[in-house]
Amino acid sequence: MGRIRLENITKNFGGLQVLKGINLEIEEGELVVFVGPSGCGKSTLLRQISGLDKPSSGAILINDRDVTEVSAADRGLAMVFQSYALYPHMTVKLNLAFGLQNAKMPKAEIETRIADAARMLEITPLLSRRPGQLSGGQRQRVAIGRAIVRDPTAFLLDEPLSNLDAELRVSMRAELGALHARLGATMIYVTHDQVEAMTLADRIVVLRGGQIEQVAAPIDLFERPANRFVAGFIGAPSMNFLTPEEAASLNGTPPAGAALIGVRPQHLEPADSGLTLTVTLVEALGTETVIHGEIAGGKRLLLTLPGHRPVQVGGQLTVNADPARLHFFDAQDQRIG
């Protein structure tokens, strides 16, 4: 059981409004990812949900119960912090047990829960160590274990992988995904890394400046971004934006009112007619080739081609895209069609 509803949440720090009216419904068992640039209010929003902080206005409902005024301890949620926040003076086992002891759980039950969680996360041999004696990845597991033993209504994770090195991050990401599938619990996962968001999420919430820009499944977000910000934020390298004049030579006609045309680097391909660009830089990554170029007006354009392509810096290249792959935005940067 873990349905969470946010109604018109705002949060002010002094005169600064950090959250500007957040409305969101999270279904039971869903893994929702909050993504957005640094400082957009992701952590702040998560803290309102956790109860560590109280919103300036609005309501938070967990399983239809209004918990806005309920303390963090009594919301039944568990949180995994970016810094892991393991108690440095306690052994791993005590770290896991602390929350259960506070809940006055019988000793035997605590033991079985810890044993189960430790087995699931493969940290059984570490139980008698202290956090200082663990590697980053192991600490991460313990932090997740501390959340799991509590059997919470929902898990809240604030950039849990950002302190790990790239390789470990990829494997832990996969493990987290598997863990979610196995536990079937509601999870809210905060990250600024769109790859994490795309791979893990059932639904992604894109935030900017304390507002929700779009809520959608990863592929919908990629294929039908609601506005220019989401279009530019999701996908790497990010989308090219052209004015109707610059895009005139591309296939297809922009709908009425289109002030901006977006095309992803992956969707541009060499063609007989279309946009002609002067190549300024070629990045051969092996699996794909990233080509930087400039079109007539001096606007920079990016395209990626699969595999290795022999392209000369300074040479000319004519590219075009499937009209169905183009994105159109109006003067207010909102999606058309």
Partner 1 sequence: MNPIRFLFRRKGGKGWHWTDLVTWVWLGTGLLIMFGPALWLVLSSFKSPTQLAEFPPTILPYVSQTAEVGINGEVKELPLYTAVTEDGQVRTLAEVRRIGTVAQMVDPDAPDTVYKVNINDRRPVRQVGFEIENYLKPLQAFNFGLYLRNSVFVTTVATLITLLTNSMAAFALSKYEFRGRNGVMLLIVATLMIPLSVNLVPLYSVVSKLGLLNSLWGVILPTVATPTGVFLLRQYMLTIPDELIEAARMDKASEWQIYWRIVLPLTAPALAVLAIFSVVWRWNDFLWPLIVLSRKELFTLQVGLNTFAGELNVQWHFILAMTVATMIPVVVVFVFLQRFITAGIAGTGLK
Ligand X SMILES: Nc1ncnc2c1ncn2[C@@H]1O[C@H](COP(=O)(O)OP(=O)(O)O)[C@@H](O)[C@H]1O
Nearest approach, Cβ of residue 201 and partner 1 (Å): 23
Considering only 80-88, 207-215, 237-245, 312-320, which stretch makes contact with partner 1 by CB under 8 A? 80-88
First-residue to last-residue Cα distance in the chain: 37
* Single residue of 88, 286, 298, 314 touching partner 1 by CB under 8 A: 88
Look up residue 334 and give its DSSP letter: B
Nearer to partner 1, 149 or 197 (CB): 149
Tell me if 41 contacts ligand X by CB under 6 A. Answer: yes
- Asked if 87 touches ligand X (CB under 6 A), the answer is no
Residues forming a β-bridge with 19: 11
Alpha-carbon span 282 to 303, nearest angstrom: 10
- Report what 13 binds from partner 1, Mg ion, ligand X, none; CB cut-off 5-8 Å by kind: ligand X
Among positions 37-66, residues that touch Mg ion (CB under 5 A) are 43
Q: Determine, following the binding rule CB under 6 A, whether residue 39 of this chain makes contact with ligand X.
A: yes
Q: Alpha-carbon distance 15 to 1, whole Å?
A: 37
Q: By C-beta, is 123 or 263 nearer to partner 1?
A: 123
Separation CA 141–CA 121 (nearest Å): 6
Residues 134-153 that bind partner 1 (CB under 8 A): 146, 150
- Asked if 208 interacts with ligand X (CB under 6 A), we say no
Q: Is 42 one of the binding residues for ligand X (CB under 6 A)? A: yes
Among 4, 6, 18, 134, binds ligand X (CB under 6 A): 18
Separation between Cα atoms, residue 63 and residue 145, nearest integer Å: 24
Site for partner 1 in 17-76 (CB under 8 A): 50, 52, 71-74
- Binding flag, residue 98, partner 1 (CB under 8 A): yes
Please choose, from the candidates 256, 228, 222, the residue with its C-alpha nearest in 3D space to the C-alpha of residue 242.
228
- The two tokens of residue 251 are 């296939």
What 3-state class would DSSP assign to 33?
strand
Helix, strand or coil, per DSSP, at residue 210: coil
Distance CA 34, CA 55 (A): 18
> What is the number of the residue whose Cβ is closest to Mg ion?
43
Query: What are the beta bridge partners of residue 195?
Result: none
User: Measuring CA to CA, how many Å separate 103 from each of 70, 96, 173, 307?
Assistant: 16, 12, 30, 57
> Per CB under 8 A, does 13 bind partner 1?
no
Residue 85 found at the interface with partner 1 (CB under 8 A):
yes
Round to whole Å and give the CA distance between 153 and 78: 8
Nearest-approach distance from CB 161 to partner 1, in angstroms? 16
Can residue 261 be called a binding residue for partner 1 (CB under 8 A)?
A: no
Q: Which of 9, 22, 44, 240 binds ligand X (CB under 6 A)?
A: 44
- From CA 100, how far away is CA 98, in angstroms rounded? 5
Asked if residue 99 binds partner 1 (CB under 8 A), the reply is yes
38 binding partner (options partner 1, Mg ion, ligand X, none; Cβ < 5 to 8 Å by kind): ligand X
Three-class SS state of 35: strand
- Which residue of this chain has its Cβ atom nearest to ligand X in the complex? 43
The stretches of the chain forming alpha helices (DSSP H) are 42-50, 92-102, 107-121, 136-149, 166-183, 194-200, 218-223, 228-233
Binding site for ligand X (CB under 6 A): 13, 18, 36, 38-44
Binding site for Mg ion (CB under 5 A): 43
Binding site for partner 1 (CB under 8 A): 50, 52, 71-74, 77-79, 81-83, 85-89, 98-99, 102-103, 146, 150
